[in-house]
Structure formats: C-alpha cells, structure tokens
Structure 1
Amino acid sequence: MVTYRYLGNSGFKVSEITYGNWITHASQVENDAAVATVHKALDLGITTFDTADVYANTAAEVVLAQALKGQRREGLEIFTKVYFPIGPKGPNDTGLSRKHIFDGIHGSLKRLDVDYVDLYQAHRYDYETPLEETMQAFADIVRQGKALYIGVSEWTAEQLRAGHALATELGFQLISNQPQYSALWRVIEGAVVPTSAELGISQIVWSPMAQGVLSGKYLPGQPAPAGSRATDEKAGAFFIQRFMNDDVLAAVQQLKPIAAEAGLTMPQLAIAWVLQNPNVAAALVGASRPEQLEDSVKASGVVLDADVMTAIDAALGPVAETDPAKTEESSPRARVTG
C-alpha cells in the first residue's frame, strides 16, 4: 500500500504515489479502461489524483469525475490546474489573470463535480499578468472555499520566492511546485529544490520515468517499439524526444543490473529514486492499464541505500540534464491565443 507525505509546510497529506491523467484519460485510453485504472489506484491505496483543465481540452477532468463518482469526497485529494487555453483561445482564455483564474476554477469544479479542489495549481508562470493580481485571485478562491491550498508548476526559484512572499502577505499557503524530475532530468536540484525547502514548498514531480525511457524498453540503435509513447503523437512523443538518443539509451541499460540487485523493476527504481529526495512529496504516475499501477506502487516506501544511489549517478550522470535555466524555458513568454 502507498504511504503518505505532508505537502509543503502544511498539515495536508498526499499519497506519495499520485495518479495523474495527463495523456491517458480521454486521449490514449478509452473511458472504461480509464475508470478501471482509477479504481485500481484506489484499491492500491492511492487517494491523490492530479489533472488539469487543458488535459484533453477539459475531457480528462470529466473522465476523472466519472471514475471517482460515489467515492467519499473527504477521503480524496483532488488537484487541478489553470493557465493554458481551452476552447476558442480568445484573448482572456489563457494565462493567470483574475478573469481566467476564476473562469478556470468554476469550469473545473463543474467538470469534476465537486464543491472544492484540494490543490489548485498555476500550470505555468504568466509573464503578462502582474504576480500581485494572480496571487490575489488565488487568495480569494481559497477564502471562498473553492480551493484549500495553492500550488504552481514549473516555476523558477525566483518566481517561487516572490509568489511565496505574496501568499504569506495575503494570508494563504503556497505549498507545492509541480516540475519535471527524474534521474535523467535533474534541473530543479540546483536552485528550485533548495529554495523550496527553505520556503516550505514541496515538489509533486511529473515524468519520474522520463516519459518511459527509464523503463529500459527503448534500446540504443533500435527503433522504438510499435505502440510505445515515442511513436504516438497523442501520447507525448514530443516530450520523449530529448531522451531518444543512443548515449542516453545506452546509459539507461546500465541500470538493469542495479535494479535487479535492489530487487526492483526498472520503473520501480526510477520512481523510488525521485522519492529519495526529501523535498519531493509525490511522484505522479499515469497508467493505461490497471496492472501498470500494481508495479508502480511497489516503489512506495522503498529506501535506496547509498551504494545504489551512487551507482545510478555513475550510470546516468554523464547524460543527465542539470541546467537550472531549463526551468525558465518551461513558461511561455507570451500567451498563446487564437
């Protein structure tokens, strides 16, 4: 069963394996399979679910609501996000303006069929909206009981510090950041993690398996398996391309004996690795089939000894991305409109 961790400097606990439905629900898998996978997550002790209004252009929130129907609301932790455009991409249909944030929360609550979300997240940083406007809107949403806590995604250390200061001034908690993080993508370690630890902000990390590359199924010098994420544009093929070179794939193959010696599968090793970071509260995992979750949750509670961590660093260190500037590249400098 999955263990729990506190999210940021709060009394709020989340399952350290959190179910995310970014590229699965209403996109990669049929609704019946999505519902079955969510039910399997619940059976395995996962009670924390992460989505966003932009996933499948709002449809992912609807599918998640269907899958959670009839569950005790108080026993669930439901996260969603706002920033990216949905619908016609009008001038106010994106970003973190007060208007878009309030339109976003009202739409998400309706689609998720809940009165509140546990965590409402700024999906990116908005360079076109004053940060004071954004944080005031979040403060009002918290006071109105539409969200209990506020988080962000892919913010830099400086943006986190400024946002945290405003949240404190406005009387609410900024408790989380949701960045990409894996043994191959370590860009948050230099600045984001130490700043977050200082401020009482946790990481909810996405792609702990580097889009599946750390599963070891992609082999150097060989084409990607048919039906895999690397061959499926709907399944995030764009995001995996940065890892699809022979140097990276050869380095990943060195992890196989390390995982075997630790008594873990390759996916379990990858998820357990991110959970060794004390600033990480949860690893986001998705699944297109229920049995995939059965493997993933076995990473919960695993403690990797120092020799294993050293061996992983030796294998992947030469090919891992560590440049902190990569975080800043995640947020568009201008809004995407129609």
Structure 2
Amino acid sequence: MEFRHLGRSGLKISEISYGNWLTHGSQIEADAARACVHAALDEGITTFDTADVYAGTRAEAVLGDALKGQRREGLEIFTKVFWPTGPGPNDRGLSRKHIFESIHGSLRRLGTDYVDLYQAHRFDYSTPLEETLRAFDDLVRQGKVLYIGVSEWRAEEIARALEIAEQMGFDRIVSSQPQYSMLWRVIEPEVVPLCEKEGIGQIVWSPIAQGVLTGKYQPGQPPPAGSRATDEKGGANFVKRFLNDDLLTRVQQLKPIADEAGLTMAQLAVAWVLQNPNVSSAIVGASRPEQVHDNVKAAGVKLDAELMRRIDEVLGDSVVRDPAETTSPRSRP
C-alpha cells in the first residue's frame, strides 16, 4: 500500500481507502462486512470511511465492530454529518445541535473516542456557515475530531468556508470528498484548482462509477443478477444514469487498454483517479473480500500520458464535466 498526505495536512492516509456506503448494514450481512474489512486491513489499508446516515446508522456500528481489537493509532477513521438520522426537524443539517448530537452518536457506534476526519456531508443552506464552522472547530478543540472536511461542496462554498475560518481563527478544511471517476469529472474545472491552491486533498468516492467501469454491464443486456443496478434499496438509483448503450459500448472498449497495462478494468479505473495529484485517496467498497484484494492492486500504479490520452479518446463526450452537477439540497432533507 502507498500513502499520501491528506492535502497539505500532516496526516498520511492509504491511497486506497475502504468505504461502507450501500454495503454494511444493508446489502451484506455483518459477517461478510467483517471479512471485507479484514481483507482491507490485510492489504495494508488503514483509512476507513463511513457516515452516520449509511444504512440508517447501522453502517457505523458494523464498521466499529469489524475494527474492534485493532490498534487505534494505526487507523484513520472518517465519518460525516448532514443527512437525516431521525424523525425530528433537528435530526439533520449542519446546525450546532445536530453536529454535536451526531458526533456523539458516531463515536458511540464506532467504538472510539475520536474520529480522524469529520466531514460535512453536503452544504447546508439553512444554517449560517459561521455556526457550522464554529461547531466543527469546537469539536477539534475538544479532541473528538482531529481534522475537518466537506463532501460534495462547490468551489465557491469551499472558498467561503476558508475565508470565514481565516477571519475567525477556526481550523481549516483539509479535505473534499466528491464523486470522481473517468466518467464523472465535475470537480476538475473549479474544485480541484481551488483545492490545489489551498492545500485541500480529494478523497474520491465511486472511482469505478458504481461498478460500471468494471465492464460487467453489457450494452443491450439486462444488469447482472445481484449487481448494484438491481438493488432497489438505493444502489440502482445511483447507477441508472450510466446505463445507456452508447456509454456501455465505450466502456467495453477500455478492456484492451486495461489488458495492455496488465490491470483489470476495476484496477484501471481506480489507478486512473490516483493519477490526479490532488487526489489523496480513492474510496473502494466491497461486498466480497476478493473485490478488496482486486482493487488494492491499483495502489502505486503509474499510467503513462499516452494511455491516459487513449482513455479520453475512447470515452469522448460521454464524460460528465459540468461543475453545476455538484449539488446540495436547497432545504434540509
């Protein structure tokens, strides 16, 4: 496993991290989840990403149980706050009340005294940004959170948070967690240049585009049984936009490129995002340990400029690049 600094912070994280969105507590049973986490540990992954909302808070509990007995100082545990975790109007968003209640619930479920990174899971238009940043800063000062970050924030939202932190003497954002893959490059025009300038690292999710970049979805064919596209608990909604025959045909044309590089298509997809120097880590998920063992082989892989050019040529205008695709709810969900 290779390690990278999280932005310009002193924290080093594994360049492939393990995430449990849409798996732990929902798609797979606890025993299978534990096996996947242990496979990640065996492969040298030290960075684990979750969120309070995943599987209605169950994902944090499953991860905490799977990591029990591990040396805490040897792990980096990340979680997030924003989406609803209860029925009340304050069980959501980035108010001081919800942030404090959420972190205490997360720490309890994860079985730890602190998290290494606490992330605002979306931008909250209903709460003053100063209130959110002060609450995060207080958690840092209390030792319950070591670093703070954001997920799916636009460049102008990150810039405003940095400005307030500078004015108020708050801890600065060190990370951004966006969706990023060969097919979804909306962070490249605005978010990445700002983050490079400000020392913020990307921890990217869905580098395999919900499994589409593995090549398992064939043009003109129904999705394979048991795949994410057939999971009505949530996965199907996220993968749906990629399931058109033109895009799937282009993805099949990546296979000779992967073969030439000596990689599986999944490994090529993960290695591709890691070529971006602003990416600190790529999050991979798994429902089976063998998926973890496969994906980690992308660590340390260098793709030459010609191969990267050929990937762009194959995918053409199927790539989504519009920064406006990064969105947060205008009112609390």
With the length of structure 1 as denominator, give the TM-score of the two structures.
0.97
Aligned to 2:49: 50
* Partner residue of 1:100 out of 98, 101, 106: 98
Match of 2:148 in 1: 150
SS of the equivalent of 2:40 reads helix
User: CA–CA distance in 1 between the matches of 2:41 and 2:29?
Assistant: 19
Which residue number corresponds to residue 196 of structure 1? Answer: 195
Amino acid at match of 1:188: I
**Contact 2:3 2:12 (8 Å CA) reproduced:** yes
Give 2:181's aligned amino acid. Answer: S
Q: How does 1:31-50 map to 2 (within 5 A)?
A: 31-50=30-49
**Structure 2: gaps (5+ residues):** none
**Corresponding position of 2:115:** 117
Paired residue secondary structure (2:210): helix
CA displacement 1:136-158 (0-9 Å, x = unmatched): 00010000000000000000000
1:334 matched to 2:322:
no
Aligned to 1:24: 23
Deviation at 1:317, TM superposition (A): 2.4
SS in 1 for 2:325: helix
Q: The residue matched to 2:318 in structure 1 has which SS?
A: coil
Match of residue 10 from structure 1? 9
Aligned amino acid, residue 333 of structure 1 = R
After TM superposition, give the deviation of residue 235 of structure 1 in Å: 5.3
Superposed displacement of residue 171, structure 1: 3.4
SS at match of 2:193: helix
1:17 and 1:284 in contact (8 A); partners too: yes
Runs of 4+, deviation exceeding 3 Å = none
Q: Quick one: structure 1 residues 288 and 281, their matched pair in 2 at CA, closer, same or farther if it must change by over 3 Å?
A: same
- Determine the structure 2 residue equivalent to 1:281: 280
CA contact (8 A) 1:219 1:249 kept: yes
Give the deviation of 1:232 after TM superposition.
1.1
Q: What is the percent sequence identity of the aligned residues?
A: 69
Letter in structure 1 aligned against 2:174 = I
> SS of the counterpart of 2:139?
helix
1:262 and 1:39 map into 2 onto residues whose CA distance is: 28
Counterpart of 2:268, as a letter, is L
Pairs within 5 Å for 1:202-281: 202-234=201-233, 236-281=235-280
Q: Distance in 2 between matches of 1:232 and 1:161?
A: 37
Question: Partner amino acid for 1:256?
Answer: K
Cα contact 2:133–2:170 (8 A) shared by 1: no
Q: Could you tell me how far apart the structure 1 residues matched to 2:123 and 2:17 are?
A: 23
Contact 1:136 1:170 in 2 (8 A): no
CA contact (8 A) 2:149 2:175 kept: yes
> Which whole-Å deviations, capped at 9, do the CAs of 1:231-263 have from their partners, x for residues lacking one?
111251100011000111011011000000011
- Please tell me the residue identity of whatever aligns with 2:147: Y
| Residues 121 and 150 in structure 2, CA contact (< 8 A), matched pair in contact too | yes
Find the counterpart in structure 1 of residue 127 from structure 2. Answer: 129
- Which whole-Å CA distance do the structure 2 matches of 1:303 and 1:222 have between them? 33
Cα distance in structure 1, aligned partners of 2:90 and 2:233: 26
* CA shift digits 1:30-75 (9 cap, x unpaired): 1001011101110100010000000011100000010000000000
Aligned-pair RMSD on alpha carbons? 0.8
SS of the counterpart of 1:284? strand
Which amino acid in 2 is paired with 1:66?
A: D
Residue 80 of structure 1 and its aligned partner are, at CA, apart by 0.3
Q: Residue 218 of structure 1: CA displacement?
A: 0.6
TM superposition shift of 1:172: 1.2
Q: Partner letter of residue 91 of structure 1?
A: P
Cα shift readout 1:271-325 (whole Å, capped 9, x = no counterpart): 0000000000000000111111111000000000011100000011220101111
Q: How many residues align?
A: 332
**Pairing partner for 1:161 from 142, 159, 162:** 159
SS of 1:261's partner is helix
Aligned mates of 1:64, 1:79 — CA distance in 2: 11
Distance 1:202 1:167 in 2: 17
Structure 2 CA distance for aligned equivalents of residues 139 and 166 of structure 1: 12
